[in-house]
Amino acid sequence: MRNKRGKFLYCRMLLSLVLPLALPLVTFFGHPAAASPRQESTSEELLLLPGEIGRPGGRLVVSLRAEPKTLNPVTSTDAPSREVIGAMQAELVHINRATQLTEPALAKSWKVSADGLQYTLTLRTGTKFSDGHPVDADDVLFTFRVYLDEKVHATQRDFLIVGGKPISVRKLDSYTLVFQLAKPYGAGERLFDGFYILPRHLLEKVYQEGKFDQAGALATAASGWAGLGPFRLKEYVAGQRLILERNPYYWKMDPLGNRLPYLDEIVFLFVPSADAQVLRFQSGETDVISRLSAENYAVLSRQQRGYTVVDAGPGLEYNFLFFNLNDPTEKMSSEMLRKQKWFRNVKFRRAVSAAVDREAIVRLVYQGRGAPLWGPVTPGNRRWINTSIPHPARSLDRARSLLKEAGFSWSKRPGGDSALIDLDGNAVNFSLITSSSNADRAKMATLIQDDLKQLGMNVQVVPMEFRSLLDRVLQTKEYDSCLLGLVSFDADPTADTNVWLSSGGTHLWNPSQAHPATPWEAEIDSLMEQQLAASSYEQRKKLYDRVQEILAEEEPMIFLASPDILVGAKNLIGNFHPTVLEPYVLWNVEQLFFRNGSENNPR
């Protein structure tokens, strides 16, 4: 199961480590509805969303980094597809990206049995798909049958396997469903976020013909596709844009009882480079922008013309340096074995960590718009960060004394600077691989190279293409050290299970171990298993705090920094409240509106 999960994380990581969507988390059972549903028509229960009252109309233009590959929520793996699908689909229970807590969506309420194994969900009545077809429990049954079907290869399938067994779904009546788990699941109903309810009336036939993976191609006719999200498909022009229009049957309303969304249309333009996206935003061609780099943020904030750029604070991305700690094999060169002697020494790793100038990384790479890290949980994840982890300042003296304790010494080099030498008289030099497509990490690598030069270490930075980098780290294991970043797709620790478990596929420094290689890895394993099964937040927090402590002590990863989420929007846009969870700006797309309403007409 964990391996499969590994594969899932792995393919997510391929998407440039920027993972969209959200998933499991915390335990807030029986969380009360954000507002009690009000009856608009006799049978339709609309969900009331608090927020500024907007004006209807208008067209929002957004740039996407690449053309989405599919509209099919089950088979999509790429970030652009996820962003588009997020505006077109809805799930049973939703994680509010601002509060990071769950809230009712298509399920208006849920109950958990005392043993934590049975979830009973009640659906909102009178809800309709974007083509007007009513929703009932059969659609939900169909949805989970598809997600669980191995032949469909749903990327999220592994999340539905709890305690080694797939979740089973039963229908009580046309609005009530029971989900049965084999084992208690710590993150609780966060499980349901990201499982979009599919239109059975449109997809059952294709599914039975075994062609489900072909459904939802971008070229699908607008009438052949439906969802429960605020927008529905209108037009797709290959290589240029995708246009969504307002879903007139959407099931949310504002405090005045107006049916959401406010906008008439969303246009996704395909703009491949980040710089081109900035230029388009600057010229007013697009209305919002997310994932800004600190440099581009500075450029935009220097010349604000009718738009605002916002620093939403540190996100969930953590960047780190790690060494190759894989078990020795026959294929490993003698040089690698020699280097591993240093890497395995925790004092060596601590010395490197002490020498890294995290403040300089935040200042020079993120222009101050980021946070230095000493553990994997970023300050953006307020509920889970262990605030008692020490934040030692950079100290070359401490680094030197640690190295001395570990038996290293220094030799005078003819040039005047001294070289670090290990017990056997070998000079300490190693390579540091990093992704060539990520300018931020390349910059960090150059800074670290200079930091470590002051300890007498000779580090060679090797930028390489992202896929071959992953191949080296996870498959061939031919590397010395690597600088990488991960974005947790949810604030809950479950999201990173696969990174911390020694058997995990993304346990980067030594992936997919049969048995934990070290006692501390074994301890992390057991802590993670316990927190996954524990039911209260306090219990889980205590366990996860300890995991963070061990990681900070043993430093298998030397945590560096986390960038702030930087976004921008035109001043005309109302209800613009960016979050640090993806999708940063469009998470409340149903509430976004133009202050000048429909005057913001299609160009």
Tell me which residues touch another protein (CB under 8 A): 274-275, 278-279, 293-296, 298-299, 302, 357, 360, 363-364, 367-368, 415-416, 430-431, 433, 436, 439, 442-443, 445-447, 449-450, 460-463, 472, 478-480
- In the complex with another protein, the residue whose CB is nearer, 222 or 364, is 364
Q: Tokens representing 112?
A: 């958990």
- Determine which helix (DSSP H) or strand (DSSP E) holds 411, and give its type and residue range: strand 409-412
Strands 288-289 and 429-435, how do they pair?
unpaired
d(C-alpha 510, C-alpha 326), whole Å = 5
Task: Give min distance, CB of 511 to another protein, in A.
Answer: 19
| Helices and strands of the chain, counted as H and E runs | 15, 27
User: Which of the 8 DSSP states describes residue 597?
Assistant: G
Task: Give min distance, CB of 447 to another protein, in A.
Answer: 7
- Determine which helix (DSSP H) or strand (DSSP E) holds 463, and give its type and residue range: strand 458-464
Q: What is the dihedral of CA 86, 180, 493, 49, to 10 degrees?
A: 40
Closest-CA residue to 496 (of 19, 15, 14, 60): 19
Q: Is 529 left (phi over 0), alpha (psi -120 to 50) or beta?
A: alpha
- In the complex with another protein, the residue whose CB is nearer, 209 or 450, is 450
Strands 429-435 and 458-464, how do they pair?
parallel
Q: Is 41 left (phi over 0), alpha (psi -120 to 50) or beta?
A: beta
* Local structure of 459: helix, strand or coil: strand
Q: Give strand pairing partners of 462.
A: 433
- In the complex with another protein, the residue whose CB is nearer, 462 or 517, is 462
Task: Give min distance, CB of 209 to another protein, in A.
Answer: 43
- Work out the burial of residue 517: count CB atoms within 10 Å of its CB; fewer than 13 is exposed, 13-18 middle, 19 or more buried: middle
Task: Give min distance, CB of 10 to another protein, in A.
Answer: 22
Task: Give min distance, CB of 343 to another protein, in A.
Answer: 15
- In the complex with another protein, the residue whose CB is nearer, 241 or 369, is 369
- Determine which helix (DSSP H) or strand (DSSP E) holds 460, and give its type and residue range: strand 458-464
- In the complex with another protein, the residue whose CB is nearer, 450 or 599, is 450
- In the complex with another protein, the residue whose CB is nearer, 248 or 368, is 368
- In the complex with another protein, the residue whose CB is nearer, 138 or 450, is 450
Closest-CA residue to 594 (of 55, 63, 50): 55
Task: Give min distance, CB of 456 to another protein, in A.
Answer: 15
Task: Give min distance, CB of 438 to another protein, in A.
Answer: 12
Task: Give min distance, CB of 373 to another protein, in A.
Answer: 18
The amino acid present at 588, given as its one-letter code, is N
- Determine which helix (DSSP H) or strand (DSSP E) holds 336, and give its type and residue range: helix 334-343
Task: Give min distance, CB of 45 to another protein, in A.
Answer: 48
- In the complex with another protein, the residue whose CB is nearer, 222 or 439, is 439
Task: Give min distance, CB of 295 to another protein, in A.
Answer: 3
- In the complex with another protein, the residue whose CB is nearer, 308 or 468, is 468
Task: Give min distance, CB of 297 to another protein, in A.
Answer: 9
Task: Give min distance, CB of 444 to another protein, in A.
Answer: 11
Q: Find out whether 557 and 548 touch, Cβ atoms under 8 Å.
A: no
- In the complex with another protein, the residue whose CB is nearer, 41 or 303, is 303
Task: Give min distance, CB of 582 to another protein, in A.
Answer: 23
Strands 45-48 and 252-253, how do they pair?
parallel
Q: Find out whether 249 and 124 touch, Cβ atoms under 8 Å.
A: no
- In the complex with another protein, the residue whose CB is nearer, 108 or 358, is 358
**Per-position DSSP letters for 500-555, written without gaps between them:** HSTT-TT-TTS-S-SS-SSHHHHHHHHHHHHHHH--SHHHHHHHHHHHHHHHHHH-
- In the complex with another protein, the residue whose CB is nearer, 278 or 419, is 278
Task: Give min distance, CB of 139 to another protein, in A.
Answer: 46
- In the complex with another protein, the residue whose CB is nearer, 149 or 295, is 295
Closest-CA residue to 285 (of 60, 87, 84, 83): 60
**Per-position DSSP letters for 261-306, written without gaps between them:** P--SEEEEEE--SHHHHHHHHHTTSSSEE-S--HHHHHHHHHT-SS
Q: Find out whether 198 and 206 touch, Cβ atoms under 8 Å.
A: no
- In the complex with another protein, the residue whose CB is nearer, 448 or 543, is 448
- Work out the burial of residue 127: count CB atoms within 10 Å of its CB; fewer than 13 is exposed, 13-18 middle, 19 or more buried: buried
Q: How large is the greatest C-alpha to C-alpha distance in the chain, in angstroms?
A: 88
- Work out the burial of residue 431: count CB atoms within 10 Å of its CB; fewer than 13 is exposed, 13-18 middle, 19 or more buried: middle
